[in-house]
Amino acid sequence: MAKMEVKTSLLDDMIGVGDMVLLEPLNEDSFINNLKKRFDHNEVYTYIGSVVISINPYRSLPIYTPEKVEEYRNRNFYELSPHIFALSDEAYRSLRDQDKDQCILITGESGAGKTEASKLVMSYVAAVCGKGAEVNQVKEQLLQSNPVLEAFGNAKTVRNDNSSRFGKYMDIEFDFKGDPLGGVISNYLLEKSRVVKQPRGERNFHIFYQILSGASEEFLCKLKLERDFSRYNYLGLDSAKVNGVDDASNFRTVRNAMQIVGFMDHETQSVFEVVAAVLKLGNIEFKPESRANGLDESKIKDKNELKEICELTGIDQSVLERAFSFRTVEAKQEKVSTTLNVAQAYYARDALAKNLYSRLFSWLVTRINESIKAQTKVRKKVMGVLDIYGFEIFEDNSFEQFIINYCNEKLQQIFIELTLKEEQEEYIREGIEWTNIEYFNNAIICDLIENNQTGILAMLDEECLRPGTVTDDTFLEKLNQVCATHQHFESRMSKCSRFLNDTSLPHSCFRIQHYAGKVMYQVEGFVDKNNDLLYRDLSQAMWKANHSLIKALFPEGNPAKINLKRPPTAGSQFKASVATLMKNLQTKNPNYIRCIKPNDKKAAHIFNDALVCHQIRYLGLLENVRVRRAGYAFRQAYEPCLERYKMLCKQTWPHWRGPARAGVEVLFDELGIPEEEFSFGRSKIFIRNPRTLFKLEDLRKQRLEDLATLIEKIYRGWKCRTRFLLMKKSQIVIASWVRRYAQQKRYQKIKSSAIIVQSYIRGWKARKLLRELKHLKRCNEAATIIAAYWHGTQARGELRRLKEEARNKHAIAVIWACWLGYKARRELKRLKDEARRKHAVAVIWAYWLGLKVRREYRKFFRANAGRKIYEFTLQRLMQKYFLEMKKKMPSLSPIDKNWPARPYLFLDSTHKELKRIFHLWRCKKYRDQFTDQQKLIYEEKLEASELFKDKKALYPASVGQPFQGAYLEISENPKYKKLKDAVDEKIIIAEVVNKINRANGKATSRIFLLTKNNVLLADQKNGTIKSEVPLGDVTKVSMSSQNDGFFAVHLKEGSEAASKGDFLLSSDHLIEMATKLYRTTLSQTKQKLNIEISDEFLVQFKQDKVCVKFIQGSQKNGNIPTCKRKNNRLLEVAVP
């Protein structure tokens, strides 16, 4: 009999109903009871057609082993019990075999297990695709990207200990064989507000706690961190530790994952330095401090944290400190700097921390994409996995929850559209009539939020961009005006009277009826979070950091790339991202995993009916079942259907010879199933009512019992016959083996006897041959020994003869050598004696000769001969020195530094004194050549050098310019005749200057005249004298240290000239004017004029004192300084 192959199915040993499409009756209670029954038996997966419902068990289940992976590999979707691996395998095989791009959409509220579901999908795909070193490396990198992103993007919330606080969509790319080539990750709206503040009972992002718990002491020291969580204001202390979470071990996992993904060591170090800087930013605190103008400014309390942050990031401490204290606003040609009060400083600190962390996270995603992206440009197949925030309803819902819930509305919309579309396309493809079904379409809610004209996001952007005072309250007023009549919008401040007395809705909130239920949003913070404002001073400070990563995170801080255009708002950016995501999803074949949270306690074995019911409603699961059952509740391909039910018909059992569809038709006709209960499609059988399917299952079960009885009967008969035949065969085999054994024993005995006889004969012959060989060997050895003794005797005799002969020859040689030595030593002694005699004669002769000479020449020596020789020598050398100096004298130029080198050491002081005398003499000769006018010019230049050298940046440019004094010819110009007649003194300076207006800082041209007794200012057009000040009333001249021509002439208080205030002027010849004014005042009043050089000084304008401040300006106006009146107390001069 042919062996029957029995295949399992989701209908076998089913607990409850594995596919909700088959649930009977279909209502909310039966739906929940079925889920609960399966949940209690550890069946956490249930189907709605091709949609997988996943209930979070809050514990580990033994259903994800490698054996389970192999069990679901290459199996039909409905062939085994419901499992996430079945959906993953179906999506992978559709991509590999049918060349269809796939996407797996994982939805559900926070804590429902979406992140774990996405990891299970990726691990399954990695397990079933191809092998090889390169493929394994790609798979490992794709899988290891999860721990990195979870560490930096997940956090503990009240609903989930590992809640994703960002949206992630990963496109996994495959080649034509189905092997992974790489991937691309997109992230959406990181909840960066969590960096600076967390709700009670929640934690910051995991990475902060992992570093402090798992890093070594040496590494923490490098990051300037301490292990104590309470040291950091940004960490929530009430939930710093989580039961069952080992932060130290997770940190090691993250570092290992970063290494596998492809992060270099210096990149990893830079990332953790930025994380440490964010932590330490929260410890910077500010205190108020009053300024002279009455305004409050903020100051940092303890600069130690700021210093450590700057050391970590390479930022100049003064630059960052100023960025926390001032805000610069630039519009077109204007730049205004204002101080920050304490509240604004804290806002700036938190904004910097949030932006620093969120940009770091985006950089991490980009860096991971660089590592995991496909290296080939060939056409690729794509499987997308979407793990995004679940629907969130908290006690306090803000801008983040609004954006998250908007994204879930869009996902629900695409789920509805694609589910109905897929159902309709299948009916059309199979040739089955489509029955329409009513369902809730949430497009109206999406339009309420995203409409370009009247949507909430559009109203929020409009409110953020309009001029004037903008607050959260004005935004709510705008919503009440535009959205008051919308059926899904509720507000007590709107014109709709039905909410005026709704005390559950505060005046500062609005409520939206989402598909998941009503959510009340607190408008506080909507405008600020949508603007997402980071002061430009902080961006520029970050860009100036000596830290490559931080510099790359803030490109807008580059002064060369200043963009005055307002950046897009957070809401508009997220709206565009969601639109791109939806467009991407619509190009792929969707696969759905709907995650459900069984309870709010995050505990195993607890099933909260009310909570599950709420999730079933807002996920629209009942509507999904009704859509699947609108036409037919169950469908199956003909081959598996015939294979499962063929035993119910004699014609199809055990084998059907023909097309599978014909077999199913024969089967259903034989069973007498009414025609209205089923329809034949092109490739599938469609069953309308679940009762029909259950009837088939009951018939199959009964038939299987009958077949089991038949099989058992046949098996018993087969077993008895087989046993008899086996015993018969065994008897024949045993008899043949006995006869064989007896013959073998007889043969062995004969063989043994023959061997013994042969061995004795061979032994005798061998022993005889051995004796002969031993005798022959002894004879040969004796002959060899005798020959050796004979040859030895002969050799020893020859050796004795040779030794005797050698001893005789050696004795002769020794005697001869002794004789030669004796003879040589005797000759040497004779030669030494002769040499000593000759030396003695020479010495005696030398002594005698010296005595004789001294006796003859003693009469010629004198006591003062040495002194006379010294004086003569010194005189000769001095004469020679002066003659040489005469020939080598340098030129008469006072600036010529050449001077001949001294020839003798003892002339050093003389040489220096001669050089000094010569220089004084030639300087006098040079001065004698000047006229009186030239002497006056050089005296003024010398005075200018003493006053301004190394003090005024403008001075070096004036050194080469001669002082002219008269830059304006008064006497030759007819229009200045009146001015000439009014001035009867000698004019020292005549020049056109710019007089700065006291009211607005604008310049007016004036003629500046300096005489021996007065300073005059006259109109340039007609020469009318505007002001005349005696030199005695000029008390001080003030100017900046920079490269500008601005100066102030301060007048004596109480004088007549001081009634209008001091003069603030600008001249192209500032150095000359100030020098001449100084010399003239000294000449006339016998008092030195005070010259003050400072970048900030006070000027008396009538009754008010105004501060003139010089700052560094831009190059847009060229090299011309600009002057602006900032307020009643400040006049600002921008110097290029």
Mean pLDDT of 346-359: 92
> Which helix (DSSP H) or strand (DSSP E) does residue 167 occupy?
strand 167-174
pLDDT over 70 percentage in the chain: 94
pLDDT of 285 higher than 50 = yes
Residue 944 labeled ligand binder: no
Over residues 245-263, the pLDDT tens digits come to 889 999 999 999 999 999 9
> For the residues 144-148, what does the mean pLDDT come to?
91
| Amino acid (one-letter) located at 308 | E
Q: What is the DSSP string of 680-724?
A: E-SSEEEES-HHHHHHHHHHHHHHHHHHHHHHHHHHHHHHHHHHH
Output the pLDDT for position 562. 64
Q: Are 1063 and 1052 a contacting pair, CB within 8 Å?
A: no
* Per-residue confidence band for 65, with pLDDT thresholds at 50, 70 and 90: very high
- Does residue 487 or residue 5 have the better pLDDT? 487
Question: What is the pLDDT at residue 3?
Answer: 34
pLDDT band at 216 (very low <50, low <70, confident <90, very high): very high
Task: State the average pLDDT for the chain.
Answer: 84
pLDDT category of residue 563 using cuts at 50, 70 and 90: low
- Tokens for 631? 């036409």
Q: What is the pLDDT of residues 808-842, one digit of tens each?
A: 788 788 888 888 888 888 888 888 888 888 888 88
More reliable by pLDDT, 1119 or 615: 615
Q: What is the mean pLDDT of residues 401-429?
A: 80
pLDDT confidence bin for 1119, thresholds 50/70/90: low
pLDDT at 1: 33
Q: Which amino acid is at 7?
A: K
The answer to whether 663 is annotated as binding is: no
Q: Return all residues near 18 (Cβ < 8 A) that are at least 6 apart.
A: 10, 11, 38, 43, 46, 47, 81, 82
Rounded Cα distance, 1010 and 1067, in Å: 14
**What is the model's pLDDT at position 307?**
92
pTM for this entry:
0.58
Q: For residue 130, say whether it is annotated as part of any ligand binding site.
A: no
As a whole-number percent, the residues of the chain with pLDDT over 90 amount to 18
Both tokens of residue 471?
């607050």
Distance CA 427, CA 686 (A): 10
Lowest mean pLDDT: which of 349-363, 879-893, 966-980? 966-980
Q: What is the pLDDT of residue 7?
A: 44
Does 620 count as an annotated binding residue?
A: no
Catalytic residues: 110-111, 115, 160, 163-164, 390, 392
* Three-state DSSP class for residue 22: helix
List pLDDT tens digits, range 441-452: 788 888 888 988
**Given this model, what pLDDT does residue 211 score?**
94
Q: Which residue has the higher pLDDT, 975 or 193?
A: 193
Asked whether the predicted pLDDT for residue 1088 surpasses 90, the reply is no
Q: Which tens digit of pLDDT belongs to each residue from 764-778?
A: 888 888 888 888 888
Task: Measure the CA angle with vertex 1110, ends 1104 and 1113; round to 5°.
Answer: 135
| Residue 1017 C-alpha from the chain's centroid | 63
**Region 165-194: what's the mean pLDDT?**
88
Q: Would the pLDDT of 398 be above 70?
A: yes
**Pairwise CA distance, residues 1032 & 860, whole Å:** 89
Q: What is the mean pLDDT of residues 985-996?
A: 87
More confident residue, 314 or 628: 314
110 marked ligand binding residue: yes
Delineate the domains of the chain, giving CATH numbers in brackets. Answer: 278-354 (1.20.120.720), 412-523 (1.20.58.530), 634-687 (3.30.70.1590), 690-837 (no CATH), 867-927 (no CATH), 933-1135 (2.30.29.30)
pLDDT of residue 10: 56
Among 94-98, 475-479, 1086-1090, the least confident range: 94-98
Of 320-324, 570-574, 932-936, the least confident = 932-936
Is 115 annotated as ligand-binding? yes
How many C-alpha atoms does 896 have within 13 Å on its Cβ side?
15
Q: List Cβ neighbours of 507 (8 Å cut-off, separation of 6 or more).
A: 492, 493
Average pLDDT on 38-59 reads 92
Q: What is the pLDDT of residue 437?
A: 60
Say if residue 474 carries a ligand binding annotation: no
The mean pLDDT of 674-697, rounded to a whole number, is 79
pLDDT band of 439, cuts 50, 70, 90: low
Q: What is the pLDDT of residue 224?
A: 92
Q: What's at 816, amino acid-wise?
A: W
pLDDT digit string (tens) for 832-873? 888 888 888 888 888 888 888 777 766 555 656 677 778 888
Q: What pLDDT is stored for residue 1036 in this prediction?
A: 92
Residue 58 in this model has a pLDDT that exceeds 70: yes
Annotated binding residue 943: no
- C-alpha distances in angstroms, 234 versus 193, 215, 533? 11, 19, 20
Q: For residue 1117, what pLDDT is reported?
A: 59
Say whether pLDDT at 4 is over 80.
Answer: no
Residue 654: asked if its preceding bond is cis (omega within 30°), the reply is yes
Count of alpha carbons within 13 angstroms of residue 750, beta-carbon side: 4
Q: Which of 331-340, 892-901, 924-933 has the lowest mean pLDDT?
A: 331-340
Torsion 922-924-925-930 (CA) sign:
positive
* pLDDT at residue number 5: 38
pLDDT at 491: 85
Q: How far apart are CA 328 and CA 348, in angstroms?
A: 13
Choice among 539-553, 830-844, 961-975, 1044-1058 with the minimum mean pLDDT? 961-975
Mean pLDDT check: name the lowest of 304-318, 429-443, 765-779. Answer: 429-443
DSSP string for residues in 972-1024: T-GGGHHHHHH--S-EEEEEEEEEEPTTT--EEEEEEEEESSEEEEEETTT--
| Tokens of residue 1054, six digits | 């109480």
How far are the Cα atoms of 333, 566, 1000 from residue 329, in angstroms, in the given order? Answer: 11, 12, 21
Convert the pLDDT of each residue in 564-574 to its tens digit: 566 788 888 88
